[in-house]
Amino acid sequence: MPIAIFLAAAAKSGGSSLFLPIMIAVFGLVYFLYIRPRQAKMRAERDSAKQVEAGEWVRTIGGLEGQVVDVSPSHVVIRTGHIHGEGPDAASSTNLTFSKQAIAGKVDDPYAVPAASSESGDLPPEVAGGDGTPEVES
């Protein structure tokens, strides 16, 4: 009904007959270029957060990062703290239970050792000859 009133007012005031089609085209453009891709991205993030497995690293909506220890249909148990390593801090990890809705997404393992590239020449001393130079096999 409000559209009919708007059209009647536009016709009486001598408004252009192209105004309504242009407004519909602008709305369609905004929908297909902004709203729809954003909804698809949010749906994909929500689905990936629900499909976590034990051993993966995740970040919660509160910013807490940890390794998934156990997964149930509605909850996830995450281990945080000093997870890898030796020494007195090795036992200071904590298991926390979160709803799956609290998982913001997956993150990379912060303790992963990056793969060394023999082409770069920037090898760590334990991989290289001890002084940072690559070992050359004879």
CB 8 within 8 Å of CB 20: no
The b/e string for 34-48 (b: 16+ C-beta within 10 A; e otherwise) is eeeeeeeeeeeeeee
pLDDT band at 131 (very low <50, low <70, confident <90, very high): low
pLDDT in tens, 73-101: 889 999 987 666 555 555 677 899 999 88
For residue 58, list its beta bridge partners.
66, 106
Vertex 41: Cα angle to 39 and 42 (nearest 5)? 65
DSSP 8-state secondary structure symbol assigned to residue 133: S
Rounded CA separation 43/37 (Å): 10
pLDDT value of residue 137:
59
**0.85 exceeded by pTM:** no
